[in-house]
Structure 1
Amino acid sequence: MHLNGRRVSALSVVALTSLTLGLGNIAASDATAARPSSTQAKSVYHQLTQPKAKKKYIKLDLLALNDFHGNLETVPSTSSSGRINNTPAGGAAYLARLIRHERTVSRDNGAKPITVAAGDLIGASPLLSAAFHDEPTIKFMNQIGLQVASVGNHEFDEGYRELRRMQRGGCLADGPDGANGQNSCPGDQGFDGADFQYLSANVKWADRAGHSRDTLFPSTKIMKVRGVKVAFIGMTLEGTPAIVSQAGIQGLDFTDEVETANALVPKLRKKGVKSIVVLLHEGVTPADTTAYNDCTGPAGPALEIAQKLSPAIDAIVSGHTHQPYNCVVADPKGQPRLLTSAASFGRMVTKLHLLIDPATRDIVRPAEYAHNMIVENDASVAPSQDVLDLIGVYKTLVEPIANKVIGHIDPGSQIVKTADSNGGDSPLGNLIADGQKADDSVVTAGGVKPVIALMNPGGIRADLVENSNGDVTYGGAFSVQPFNNFVVSMDLTGAQIRALLNQQWNGPNEGTGQKILQVSGLSYTWDVSEAGAPSTDALVGTVLVDADGDPATAQVPLDDAATYRVVANNFLSDGGDNFTTFKDGTNKLVGGLDIDSLRKFLLAHDPVSPTATDRISQTP
């Protein structure tokens, strides 16, 4: 189900209307307005759990995370990544404190707490975790008692083999001082792997031969709650191959989320399972992203998935969009079903309150409700000391890597990632592309250098800034490019380069407006009025390239029939972000890490100055 980017109607977001203790009379109706309050479901929950109630329902509380991305340290609240609305939020030590507290609250209320996650716990992480292959984050997840997690797309950032090491443990041979800015098991730190279970129901081996099961990780995990079986299905987004490096997922197939989950239901039924929860790494974006316990105008692939999943599935914990929401969605039979997400970076936890009927062994759907809780980190909240200790160990170990000075910024200048309003290039995008074009690791054995570089804007995660000493450090540069991608040079014709530029607005990227490639060695103008039209050549005028790859000479028109040496990161080289023409590149040469391209360029141009954002322009 290729739903990424598709807007889905909110018509199936439902309200619970007929509330009586005769559960068969509790109905669902369509609503086009804001998400209904959870007050009604909460009322049913409490009525059914009164001390004098005839039946003793089993209480199950889920504590849910998603999209942590290795954010172990607290981020200043001046950054949107460090707050929810205006409340300072996040930090692993504060997240641990909240989860442990809520686990105790659940037990005191007679509920069984289970801690779950919906993917992207690792990958695209800050240097504190990424410098050690995200081993610190897995150790943290073990500390807080995470029990089961679905696999997200960023879990594949270093490839599926590395992800399997995250589960199983063991150290990489990075050498005593690390390699490429990373160091597995530094000092006397071992790595035993995850105590929790990764699930990947729809990530399957293309060739089953030699594998004990058809999926990369188990599809489901069954746990007992007061003697009743509860199953979790782990699911990553089907569109993962378009947004990760192909080398890391070679030999894997990503199947339709709905078809995969629904096919598992009868198998779980045969095992006596009636209570089923899906951990889905796919999401929605509400119209009001500040209303974190609401669900106003939700749009996105997870909404349609939630509408189509089998009615036997009782709740969906989701992620991927980094948005907080608390939705109730109608299943194919019109019954209410939770669809939740806890924002990102450990700033929130979702608590789902579920009741299991001991007679039917199924979750009582009209009584389920959830709420998103902010991981507050102000001075009134005491962080968990054991987590602070873990962070302290790795902060010491990362210092030699992070504090190495690699350059400076020309005084009074800024190197920002914000795109120019006329065209779409940015000072930082230009700098990164220039660095990749100048990287000697992608020069062929015959001495052929790249003359053009193309960089995806989604791979630029922060502005390039100096520290308090006025230095650009490796840690600062890493915050700009945290993916550890490799740079790849290749041969492309002028016609293929033109096709790539057109793919910024056409095909799957049509209407997004967010994927304007950052360039070096060429310039062009595109027509705003044509960019949204189906299958339209959005470029006007002539695409110009540096003559003989020399930026000091006047540019000349791109020759469609000529062949040019082009460099990009391996994510783009594999067709990432739907730039499929990159796959047709020939004579590919894999060089070093993209962060090293930036590091070497900064060292060679110290201090660096921002370039004019005139490489891309638009009309009218």
Structure 2
Amino acid sequence: MPATAQSHQPRRRRRTTRLLAVAAGAVTAGALAAAALPGTASAGEGHDGHQPGRYQDVQLLSFNDLHGNLEPPAGSSGRVTEVQPDGTTKTVDAGGVEYLATHLRQARKGNPYSITAAGGDMVGASPLLSGLFHDEPTIEALNKLDLDVTSVGNHEFDEGATELARLQNGGCHPTEGCYTDKEFEGADFPYLAANVLDEKTGKPVLKPYWVWKNNGVKVGFIGVTLEGTPDIVSAEGVKGLQFKDEVETINKYAKVLQGQGVKSIVALVHEGGFPASSSYNYDCDSPGADDGISGPIVDIAKNVTPQVDALVTGHTHNAYVCTIDDPAGKPRMVTSAASFGRLYTDTTLTYDRWTGDIARTAVKSANHVVTRDVPKAPDMTSLIDRWNTLAAPIGNRPIGYISGDIGNTGTESPLGDLIADAQLAYGKELDPETDLALMNPGGIRAPLTYAAKGAEGDGVVTYAEGFTVQPFANTVNLQNFTGAQLIQVLKEQVSGSNEAAPKILQVSSGLTYTLDLTKTGPDRVVTDSIRLNGAAIDPAATYRVATNSFLAGGGDGFPTLGQGTNDVVGADDLKALEQYLTANSSATDPIAPPAADRITIVR
């Protein structure tokens, strides 16, 4: 076996070859340097037997935050906004792995030097089709997509490092066993986790970097997730792990790759930004667009070593193709392809065979819509049908009825109110003294849509749809808080770690307050406006609060929610939603979308 340090010869799809490539031991810097010398076999003859030219275009196809969305996402989650030539916008239906496969395969045609990479959150918070089977269907689909490499995201740790290792290496689920007559084979591509360390060993829990090689061209990939992953994943999911600074980690391994003779480097960073426009084709670098993008990825990009030639990012579910100056003041491409497989990014990296580096001035990139007007990939259709057959007895069961779409967007969303009401009702079953419920918006993964899907019928909510809305299997927990603590919780929505990007809790019926966005910091929550069933919150009184287990552990930047007392742990939050829908709706009397009028917004 050749010495190929965490390297891979492209488009080899036999699993044995891929595993050997991922598991190979480290090669010496001298061996790689020798392979790069002009005129050697490795540096390369062209595919036609002639010596290649100095510059070689390398196609980098990328996407991020798929979250197990194999079928086309519903509602707004399955659309993108497109700027038209006249400046107006329109929405385009997008997504679905059957279409994503077709688009990627068409894009690769005529590109012998093509890499497909991803920016994390391939799994986790997945619809029932994948989530019910612990995301084995998504890994199988990614293998068929010919994904070459991905970073981990925060959701890769939803079920802990042991389960992530199973997705990488294969094997049947430890408690549920095999779902089919074949043992799960795992990912044909490497997951990279350079900044995720085992607390005991101090070493990355998965490979930190990987090298793609083709005919003398070498491109290294470093994969990291956001350092703040422990703040947005359950404590059990990150138990025994350390998450290190993204910039320091990338710079460390860029030096390692440089020392091995790999000078062309791409960072896969599961952290993102907020573009000035919601349109996927907005020109981030247009004249006057100095503030074309903001958020954590800007500081990361400005500080990652110039040795890195491009950043593929994610996490914020936004679409952008921007250049951000590196520490040397040189523009560098930073991209993100929204989420749920609605877009893919096509980046051209111009590789200089003389230097082994990317000619940055020649890099170009664009996001493309995964439209649904192309033929479906038959192998993906077969995969979806096979897993749907297994999921159907559970997923097709009706659990409620709605009279219209119940959305999950906005500072306060109708679906957020509905879920909070469901948790309050369930909390009162556990303890009649329960006063209110709080729900984190990030735990609501999709809207409830009225339109018929398949044979379910208009307005019918199936278990599969409920699972797509709340896929985390969090429990509903009850805790006691003082009124002073409750006020502090509401202020933590817009202060501390949430000051720059507020996380507004969805509140149950009876809790009202004013959010004044003209102010700054915690003052944005107007203390005197907070009411429960019309009465002011008494700082000295005790209140019984229902939350999911993630919030009850202080997640999402709410440390005060981790200080509750008199804990009671109930069933999972999806059961609470199911019970509420079943008890409060019928085919003749469906639930109407809540008004979302509990939080008064001052702008």
Instruction: Tell me the TM-score normalised to structure 1 length.
Output: 0.78
What's 1:255 paired with?
Answer: 244
What's 2:438 paired with?
Answer: 454
Larger deviation, residues 229-238 vs 602-611? 602-611
1:570 aligns with 2:554: no
Work out which of the residue numbers 58, 61, 81 in structure 2 matches 1:60. 58
1:561 aligns with 2:514: no
Code of the aligned partner of 1:577: D
| Equivalent residues of 1:435, 1:601 under 8 A apart | yes
The alpha-carbon distance between structure 1 residues 75 and 556, as it changes in their structure 2 partners (threshold 3 A), is: closer
What's 1:525 paired with?
Answer: 513
Residue 521 of structure 1 deviates from its aligned partner by 6.8
Larger deviation, residues 198-207 vs 221-230? 221-230
What's 2:122 paired with?
Answer: 121
Deviations 1:362-405 (A, max 9, x none): 22222222232322221xx2221111110111122221111112
Task: Find the residue that maps to 2:233 and give its secondary structure.
Answer: coil
1:332 aligns with 2:327: yes
Work out which of the residue numbers 287, 294, 300 in structure 1 matches 2:276. 287
What's 1:539 paired with?
Answer: 526
1:491 aligns with 2:511: no
Code of the aligned partner of 2:401: H
Code of the aligned partner of 1:165: R
Residue 290 of structure 1 deviates from its aligned partner by 2.2
| Equivalent residues of 2:350, 2:362 under 8 A apart | yes
| Equivalent residues of 1:406, 1:599 under 8 A apart | yes
Q: Distance in 2 between matches of 1:414 and 1:220?
A: 44
1:202 aligns with 2:199: no
What's 2:186 paired with?
Answer: 193
Code of the aligned partner of 1:594: D
Residues 598-609 of structure 1 mapped to structure 2, 5 A cutoff: 598-607=577-586, 609=591
What's 2:79 paired with?
Answer: 82
Code of the aligned partner of 2:528: G
The alpha-carbon distance between structure 1 residues 397 and 368, as it changes in their structure 2 partners (threshold 3 A), is: same
The alpha-carbon distance between structure 1 residues 275 and 569, as it changes in their structure 2 partners (threshold 3 A), is: same
Residues 136-155 of structure 1 mapped to structure 2, 5 A cutoff: 136-155=137-156
Q: Distance in 2 between matches of 1:517 and 1:195?
A: 39
Residue 93 of structure 1 deviates from its aligned partner by 1.5
Q: Distance in 2 between matches of 1:465 and 1:361?
A: 51
1:583 aligns with 2:588: no
| Equivalent residues of 1:67, 1:320 under 8 A apart | yes
The alpha-carbon distance between structure 1 residues 260 and 617, as it changes in their structure 2 partners (threshold 3 A), is: same
Q: Distance in 2 between matches of 1:414 and 1:264?
A: 47
Larger deviation, residues 298-307 vs 584-593? 584-593
Task: Find the residue that maps to 1:406 and give its secondary structure.
Answer: strand
Code of the aligned partner of 1:129: S
1:431 aligns with 2:418: yes
Q: Distance in 2 between matches of 1:271 and 1:299?
A: 34
What's 1:275 paired with?
Answer: 264
1:240 aligns with 2:229: yes
Work out which of the residue numbers 383, 388, 398 in structure 2 matches 1:405. 398
Task: Find the residue that maps to 1:222 and give its secondary structure.
Answer: strand
Residue 442 of structure 1 deviates from its aligned partner by 8.7
Task: Find the residue that maps to 1:263 and give its secondary structure.
Answer: helix
What's 1:71 paired with?
Answer: 69
| Equivalent residues of 2:78, 2:93 under 8 A apart | no
| Equivalent residues of 2:401, 2:581 under 8 A apart | yes
Work out which of the residue numbers 313, 325, 344 in structure 1 matches 2:339. 344
Paired residues in the alignment total 532
| Equivalent residues of 2:151, 2:192 under 8 A apart | yes
Deviations 1:573-611 (A, max 9, x none): 222221121121234343322111111222233446456
Residue 557 of structure 1 deviates from its aligned partner by 4.8
Task: Find the residue that maps to 1:233 and give its secondary structure.
Answer: strand
Q: Distance in 1 between matches of 2:68 and 2:463?
A: 18
| Equivalent residues of 1:484, 1:594 under 8 A apart | yes
| Equivalent residues of 1:150, 1:200 under 8 A apart | yes
Code of the aligned partner of 1:575: G
What's 2:209 paired with?
Answer: 220
The alpha-carbon distance between structure 1 residues 69 and 353, as it changes in their structure 2 partners (threshold 3 A), is: same
Task: Find the residue that maps to 1:401 and give its secondary structure.
Answer: helix
Q: Distance in 1 between matches of 2:342 and 2:371?
A: 8
What's 1:25 paired with?
Answer: none
| Equivalent residues of 1:66, 1:343 under 8 A apart | yes
Contiguous gaps of at least 5 residues in structure 1: 1-51, 176-183, 547-554
Q: Distance in 1 between matches of 2:247 and 2:53?
A: 34
Q: Distance in 2 between matches of 1:376 and 1:585?
A: 47
| Equivalent residues of 2:208, 2:222 under 8 A apart | yes
Q: Distance in 2 between matches of 1:102 and 1:426?
A: 38
1:359 aligns with 2:359: no
| Equivalent residues of 1:439, 1:597 under 8 A apart | yes
| Equivalent residues of 2:551, 2:561 under 8 A apart | yes
Code of the aligned partner of 1:90: G
Q: Distance in 2 between matches of 1:613 and 1:277?
A: 43
Code of the aligned partner of 1:271: Q
Residue 148 of structure 1 deviates from its aligned partner by 0.8
Task: Find the residue that maps to 1:261 and give its secondary structure.
Answer: helix
Residue 219 of structure 1 deviates from its aligned partner by 0.9
Residue 71 of structure 1 deviates from its aligned partner by 1.5
| Equivalent residues of 2:54, 2:354 under 8 A apart | no
What's 1:506 paired with?
Answer: 495
| Equivalent residues of 1:511, 1:532 under 8 A apart | no
Contiguous gaps of at least 5 residues in structure 2: 1-49, 83-90, 286-291
Task: Find the residue that maps to 2:274 and give its secondary structure.
Answer: coil
Code of the aligned partner of 1:430: D
Code of the aligned partner of 2:121: D
| Equivalent residues of 1:402, 1:473 under 8 A apart | yes
Q: Distance in 2 between matches of 1:560 and 1:294?
A: 49
Instruction: Tell me the TM-score normalised to structure 2 length.
Output: 0.80
Q: Distance in 1 between matches of 2:529 and 2:294?
A: 38
What's 1:33 paired with?
Answer: none
Q: Distance in 2 between matches of 1:342 and 1:613?
A: 30
Task: Find the residue that maps to 2:269 and give its secondary structure.
Answer: strand
| Equivalent residues of 1:83, 1:90 under 8 A apart | no
The alpha-carbon distance between structure 1 residues 321 and 518, as it changes in their structure 2 partners (threshold 3 A), is: closer
Residues 307-318 of structure 1 mapped to structure 2, 5 A cutoff: 307-318=302-313
| Equivalent residues of 1:442, 1:449 under 8 A apart | no
Task: Find the residue that maps to 1:588 and give its secondary structure.
Answer: strand
Code of the aligned partner of 2:96: G
Percent identical among aligned pairs is 45
Code of the aligned partner of 2:560: T
Q: Distance in 2 between matches of 1:329 and 1:425?
A: 33
What's 2:103 paired with?
Answer: 98
Q: Distance in 1 between matches of 2:157 and 2:105?
A: 29
| Equivalent residues of 1:118, 1:318 under 8 A apart | yes
Residue 199 of structure 1 deviates from its aligned partner by 0.5
Q: Distance in 2 between matches of 1:246 and 1:275?
A: 37
Deviations 1:489-523 (A, max 9, x none): 223222211210122233333364x5332233752
